[in-house]
Amino acid sequence: MLNEFTLVNEQVGDYINKLGCPILDIDVVWSRKKRVDLIGYVIDSDGKKKTAVVAEIKKRPSFESQQQLLVAAKELGALYALLVIQEEPHSWGYYWYDVGTSLPLSKEPRFDNGRFLENQTEIEQQIYKVANAAREILYNPWETVQFLGDILLIRAYLHDTDGLEKWIVIADDYQKYMMLRVAAYKHYNLPVGDDGWIVRVSNLNRNQIVRDIGSLSPKHVSLGSAFLQVISSIMENAGRREGLFITTEHIRKVFLGFVSSLDIKADGKMADVSAGFGTILSDLYTQQAINGVESIGFEINKDVSILSQILFIISGIENVRIESGDSLLLGEEHFGQYNLVIMDPPLGMPLNNKSYMEKFRVTSKSSNARVSDLMLEQSIRLARKGGYIVAIVPEITLSASGASKEVRDIIKDDTIIEAIVSLPPHILKPWTMAKVSVLVLKKKQSRDETANEVFLGKLESVEEIDELTEAFRLFRKERGLHG
């Protein structure tokens, strides 16, 4: 079995990989606890993996082991079966069979490996393989995510500089890996961190990483989406704090639906005041809700902002920039500059920066303001006249006294409310059960501008998101509202 022949299994994997199988699964359990040592896959014309070869490693040949291998290969849909037999203490024989005829082959087959995976689920599986290997030597989830970002950025860099053939040197030479890492970060104008964990990467099986990531397109929308899903899963398992940087799938869908209804002009500018991992921006671009719009995201956590930029690079999205910085400290040069401002704030976060106190109307009138209150005031400042703000706010903002009343006064003075929609509490799971609403605001052209009607809604369940956002689109269309 596999666990008795670890070194040989690695050699067999390399051998099959060099024949043109870019994807390998090792020690595979299938169909009522049946097990095979290795499965090699090719990538079909649709960008999906297809079983090419099933391999078994045995100490002694037998007719029974040959038949069991052929049955397994046929059930798994493989074209070929490979039986590896120990012939001498340090010598192994490779015996190939055509699965369709069960006849032995006179020579080894060759496979076309010129394609990359495009199916997001299968891409995620390949990234998870590397993540699981990295977890054995990296001490926390952040290190694992940062390492994955490094690897994917290096591959994108090699693609953009016509040097993809250098990808394999990562497996052979740790110093060359480090040189490529620095070169990739500098190429994309990203800061190169002197992270302590990077030293431990020298202990990783980089040969396996080269194989697993080598089956992925260096830059593709599905690659970025898959990496984002892996990040979300790793962070969710790490605990609640990392939820500050991740927007839930259903909230992203809410933003996508409302922003798509606004008809933002292609030559416009957009800002995300709390970008996190760039999840909302990514969806808006990949779903073509803001084609051609130049966007900037602000993220206060430096490590998260770097990972966000890597996500956009490997997705092939070029007109998004993520800046590491506090959007609440943006100066007047940013005010009135954006056609659209989106806001998904960190809920419940207290104010701990005294420099905020003199910059905002909310804090000048109340001492109990929340970060979300200041972010909404800042979002309104950043929007140009006639521009839009789409924001998630705690429902207390719409009803409480103190800072919340001051926020409502700012909304009334400076914007026209186009929509207020109450969202179900479970929409923010697993990070929080806080009750929130979504606001769609339009920055007034003049102080005396007023709205005739407001779209009011209450979302009872996440299954109603599409229906509700379509109702908002029709509401705007029927009233001749324009972006």
What per-residue confidence (pLDDT) applies to 322? Answer: 94
Q: Judge contact between 241 and 456, C-beta under 8 A.
A: no
**Predicted local confidence at residue 464, as pLDDT:** 93
What sign results for the dihedral spanned by CA atoms 188, 193, 196, 199?
Answer: positive
Q: What is the pLDDT of residue 268?
A: 85
φ and ψ of 96, to 5 deg: -100, 145
Residues 218-230: tens digit of each pLDDT = 999 999 999 988 9
Give the model confidence (pLDDT) of 353-367 as tens digits: 777 777 888 887 777
Q: What is the pLDDT of residues 396-449, one digit of tens each?
A: 888 777 778 888 999 999 999 999 999 988 887 766 667 899 999 999 998 888
Alpha carbon 462 to chain centroid, angstroms: 21
pLDDT of residue 299: 94
Place of tokens 């649709």: 46
Q: What is the pLDDT of residue 381?
A: 96
pTM beyond 0.85: no
What pLDDT score was predicted for residue 242? 54
Q: Are 234 and 141 in contact (CB under 8 A)?
A: yes
Spatial CB neighbours of 343, under 8 Å, sequence gap ≥ 6: 272, 273, 274, 375, 376, 379, 389, 390, 391, 392
Q: What CATH number is given for 240-478 in this structure?
A: 3.40.50.150
The pair of structure tokens assigned to 321 is 């920039």
Q: Mean per-residue pLDDT for 126-136?
A: 90
Mean pLDDT of the chain: 87
How far is CA 240 from its chain centroid? 18
Look at residue 472 in the predicted model and tell me its pLDDT: 94
pLDDT computed for residue 4 by the predictor: 46
The per-residue pLDDT for 194 is 64
pLDDT of res. 139: 78
State what percent of residues in the chain have pLDDT above 90. Answer: 45
Its CATH class, for the domain covering 2-98, is alpha beta
What DSSP line would sit under 334-373, residue for residue? Answer: GTT-EEEEEE---TTPPP--GGGTTT-HHHHH-S---HHH
Least confident of 49-58, 88-97, 332-341: 88-97
What is the pLDDT at residue 483?
56
Phi, psi of 361 (to 5 degrees): -65, -40
Q: Which of 54, 50, 64 is nearest to 27 (CA)?
A: 54
Is residue 109 within 8 A of residue 179, CB to CB? The reply is: no
Three-class SS of residue 105?
coil
Rounded CA-CA distance 282/289 in Å is 10
Give the residue-averaged pLDDT of 462-481: 90
Q: Is the dihedral of CA 255, 256, 261, 263 positive or negative?
A: positive
pLDDT at 438: 95
- pLDDT at residue 1, as a whole number: 41
Q: pLDDT tens-digit profile of 17-72? A: 888 888 888 888 877 778 888 999 988 888 888 999 999 998 887 888 889 899 99
Contact status, residue 426 vs residue 378, Cβ threshold 8 Å: no
- 289-316 average pLDDT score: 91
In 3D, which of 246, 301, 307, 297 has the Cα closest to residue 269?
Answer: 297
Tokens 């290969």, residue located: 73
Q: What is the mean pLDDT of residues 247-265?
A: 90
Per-residue pLDDT tens for 229-240?
A: 898 888 777 664
At residue 7 the predicted structure's pLDDT band, cuts being 50, 70 and 90, is low
Total residues belonging to the chain: 483
